[in-house]
Amino acid sequence: MYQLTGVTKLYHKDRQTIPAVQDLNLTIEDGEWLAIQGRTGSGKTTLLNLLGGLDQPTQGSIELDGTSLGTLPETRLTRLRAQSIGFIFQTFNLIPTLTAAENVEAALIPLGTGQPGRRARVTAALESVGLADRANHLPAELSGGQQQRVAIARALVKDPTVVLADEPTGNLDEDTRDDIIGLLERLWRDRSLTLILVSHDSAIARLAQAVAVMTDGHVTTRQDSPNP
Amino acid sequence: MFFLTYLRRELRRRLHQAIVVALGLALGVGLVVTVGAAAAGVNKAQADVLGVLYGVGTDVTVTGPAAPAAGSATAGNGTSIQADYSPVSSAEVAAVAGLHGVAAAAGGLLLTDTTDTFPRGSGHPGSGPPATGSASVNGVDTGQLALGPLSAATITSGHSLTTADAAADVAVVDSGYAASHSLTAGSDITIGTVRFTIIGIAAQPQAGNPPDFYVPLAAAQALQLAGGSAGTGDVNMIYVTAASAAGIPAVQHEITRLLPHATVTTAASLASQVTTSLASAAKLASDLGRWLAVLVLIAAFAVASLLTMAAVARRAAEFGTLKGLGWRTRRITAQVLGESAVIGAAGAALGVGLGFAGVTIIATLAPKLSVTVPPPSAAFAQAAGQVLPPAPGAAAPHAVAVPLHPAITVGVVVLAAILAMAGGLLAGAAGSWRIARLRPAAALARVP
């Protein structure tokens, strides 16, 4: 469970101070699918980075299962990301020189899993996203939708408890978008993940269990959706 | 395995940049190898020249003052034997050998055998003047064969002097003299008024101006007395080996205190007088060449570091993603260092190859160095600041072309390889520093 209390994140540029997130309070239950909506610049991506430990709040606390992310040393934070948190980015962020299988395998390297074990888990992860036959293809040889599927496989191969997705369909066409969202929904249900998905697309947000709307760094509304 | 796969793929992706960096390192390394080899070659050439005068293993020579001008009585048949230096007694040789810091000392006797050949009808009106020839004779202490000019020679026929020859009238003849006088091992030669059996032919390095004959010291002393010279049967040179290279100046100082009338020279002072052009070449290779190599290496290191840092900056989003996946900074750093190490190794290999090529070019195209080599006796006098009156018909100083044979040593190759690897790793360290400062969120915000 995530517990955010009075979280503020300020950026400083030249002599200006830019509040990306301001005095934010939020609770996210285990296994919940929360969609975060808002206009560009409302602080959605910053919030996601804070939840994933990729950035530190200027003020306030962020607790994940009772552990304050702000007080963890960098090594433990890195370990937490390696074991428990999966990321899916809008631009896929695949390593261009590695094949699909190797990109997925990259997520297992920090865990110290032996090569045979890694290979088996990578195969299973690619099968779960329907790309087992594309394992040896480089990202440049895959379509946008296929690349995002690889990214999803990479996020899930380590059996995380939390998946953070930042505009996962932002670079995809409509049909592919529906496929990806459908895949995410299926995996969320099958694995009882805590899925936090940022999207400016209302149609996607409505599929989630709850929707939080951000405006100027604040969560202005949070409402449950009819999605069981 | 993943590490190597990632490394290999990444180097292939930026192959051009990797080649540029490797070539830059190779250029610096190649220069280091070439300069090192050239310097080694010049030093060897210098040592070869000095070896003829000094012999291998001789650090200090002691000579008496220059002998008085020729005026010794001829011994008959138009020959005269003249000592090139005033005598040094056996006791003085022993005293030098007993000094602290002296590993060994041996006496030598430098003589010049001058022969006047009178033409047919000499003494009658219209007859020509006598032709004067001379030969240099080096009396060798057969109990200390490791000292003196004979120690630098290579026996090409017969054998060299041994301790058993101490009292014999035998001679080793210089190969140049033997060739010009059609002498071979086993034939006889008259030096002064004494008949010697030639037991061997000795070749000195090309640049030398070696003695024509090497005879046992006792035989040389007898020649001196029989030739009408006013010698005492002692020696006129002492060859000294110091216990250590660092102790040479102290040994020189001690001998000067012991024998204030003598001239004490070291290889360094002789080198500056005799092998001036070689010394200049050595200084050029050593000073200018070394600085040039250092500057090129610094430039190569700087370029490698800048290119690596630029590559890290371009891969910021990639490294941010890896941090997001839970990769620790040091693992990412190891990846970058691995790539840099491979480039450094490639630079080292290329550089050694370039070095060999440079050495080949120098050996093939470089002009021969010229050395003016006086006769041995004049060389020591020159080094001591003396002017030795030339014996009539004595060999004049002559310019000798010294071929430059650059020598690549294992040490230089290893040093060059280490420098290239260091350059590669330095570049990797620069990139790693940048990675360590990378905040994942900021890195991910950069569009690849």
pLDDT tens over chain A, length 228 residues: 899 999 999 888 888 888 888 888 989 999 999 999 988 888 889 999 999 998 889 999 999 988 898 888 888 999 999 999 999 998 899 999 999 999 999 999 999 888 889 999 999 999 999 999 999 999 999 999 999 999 999 999 999 999 999 998 888 888 888 888 888 889 888 888 999 999 888 888 888 899 999 888 888 878 887 555
The CA distance from B14 to A202, in Å, is: 42
Rg (CA), chain A: 17
Q: CB distance B2–A81 less than 8 Å?
A: no
- Residue B396 in any domain: the answer is no
> Mean pLDDT of all residues in chain B?
79
Same domain, B145 and B287: no
Helix (H, G, I), strand (E, B), or coil: what is residue A188? helix
Same domain, B210 and B161: yes
Same domain, B162 and B14: no
List the Cα angle B278/B281/B284 in 5-degree steps. 155
- Residue B77 in any domain: the answer is yes
Using the 3D structure, point to which of B211, B229, B261 is the last residue of a domain: B261
State the sign of the Cα–Cα–Cα–Cα dihedral B319, B320, B324, B327.
Answer: positive
HEC letters along chain B: CHHHHHHHHHHHHCHHHHHHHHHHHHHHHHHHHHHHHHHHHHHHHHHHHHHHHHCCCCCEEEECCECCCCCCCCCECCEEEEECECCECHHHHHHHHCCCCEEEEEEEEEEEEEEEECCCCCCCCCCCCCEEEEEEEEEECCCCCCCCHHHHCEEEEECCCCHHHCCCCEEEEEHHHHHHCCCCCCCEEEECCEEEEEEEEEECCCCCCCCCEEEEHHHHHHHHHHCCCCCCCCECEEEEEECCHHHHHHHHHHHHHHCCCCEEEEHHHHHHHHCHHHHHHHHHHHHHHHHHHHHHHHHHHHHHHHHHHHHHHHCHHHHHHHHHCCCCHHHHHHHHHHHHHHHHHHHHHHHHHHHHHHHHHHHHHCCCEEEEECCHHHHHHHHCCCCCCCCCCCCCCEEEEECCCCCCCHHHHHHHHHHHHHHHHHHHHHHHHHHHCCCHHHHHHCCC
Chain A nearest C-alpha distance from B436 (Å): 12
Same domain, B135 and B94: yes
Same domain, B79 and B31: no
Q: Any chain A CB within 8 A of the CB of B233?
A: no
Disruptive mutation site among B5, B6, B321, B329 for chain A (greatest number of A CBs within 10 Å): B321
Q: Any chain B CB within 8 A of the CB of A223?
A: no
Same domain, B155 and B212: yes
Q: Which among A49, A102, A106 has CB closest to B322? A: A106
- Residue B85 in any domain: the answer is yes
Q: Any chain B CB within 8 A of the CB of A137?
A: no
* Partners of residue B10 in chain A, C-beta under 8 Å: 97
pLDDT for position B27: 87
Q: CB distance B326–A83 less than 8 Å?
A: yes
Same domain, B218 and B323: no
Same domain, B420 and B282: yes
- Amino acid letter at B187? S
Using the 3D structure, point to which of B231, B261, B291 is the last residue of a domain: B261
pLDDT for position A202: 85
* Partners of residue B329 in chain A, C-beta under 8 Å: 74
Q: CB distance B6–A107 less than 8 Å?
A: no
pLDDT for position B75: 47
Same domain, B121 and B187: yes
- Residue B267 in any domain: the answer is no
DSSP symbol at A203? H
Using the 3D structure, point to which of B227, B261, B295 is the last residue of a domain: B261
What count of CB pairs under 8 Å joins A to B?
80
- Residue B155 in any domain: the answer is yes
Q: Compute how many other C-beta atoms are within 10 angstroms of the C-beta atom of residue B179.
A: 12
Domains of chain A: 31-49+73-212+219-224 (3.40.50.300)
- Residue B327 in any domain: the answer is yes
Same domain, B232 and B311: no
Residues 6 or more apart whose CB falls under 8 angstroms from that of A55 comprise A9, A46, A49, B439, B440, B441
For the stretch A106-152, pLDDT in tens is 999 999 888 889 999 999 999 999 999 999 999 999 999 999 999 99
Considering only CA atoms, which of B162, B139, B278, B117 is closest in space to residue B211?
Answer: B139
- Residue B397 in any domain: the answer is no
Chain A nearest C-alpha distance from B435 (Å): 14
Q: Are strands B237-242 and B102-117 parallel, antiparallel or unpaired?
A: antiparallel
> Phi first, then psi: what are they for B271, rounded to 5°?
-60, -40
Question: What stretches in chain B show pLDDT beneath 70?
Answer: 46-57, 66-80, 84, 116-132, 205-209, 227-233, 268-286, 367-406, 446-448
Structure tokens at A114: 């032996």
DSSP symbol at A105? H
pLDDT for position B275: 54
- Residue B249 in any domain: the answer is yes
HEC letters along B28-53: HHHHHHHHHHHHHHHHHHHHHHHHHH
pLDDT for position B71: 43
* Beta strand extents in chain A (DSSP E only): 2-13, 16-28, 33-38, 59-64, 67-68, 85-88, 162-166, 194-198, 210-215, 218-224
The CA distance from A152 to A179, in Å, is: 12
Structural domain that includes position B439:
2-49+278-366+404-445
The CA distance from B76 to A206, in Å, is: 130
The residue in chain B having the minimum alpha-carbon distance to the alpha carbon of residue A155 is B325
For the stretch A85-101, pLDDT in tens is 999 998 899 999 999 99
pLDDT for position A147: 94
> Which contacts (CB < 8 Å, 24+ apart) does range B71-77 have?
B72/B227, B72/B228, B72/B229, B72/B230, B73/B228, B74/B116, B74/B228, B75/B192, B75/B193, B75/B226, B75/B227, B75/B228, B76/B193, B77/B115, B77/B193
Q: Any chain A CB within 8 A of the CB of B437?
A: no
Predicted complex ipTM: 0.91
Same domain, B239 and B358: no
* Partners of residue A80 in chain B, C-beta under 8 Å: 326
Same domain, B356 and B441: yes
Helix (H, G, I), strand (E, B), or coil: what is residue A90? coil
Q: CB distance A75–B328 less than 8 Å?
A: yes
Q: How many domains does chain B have?
A: 2
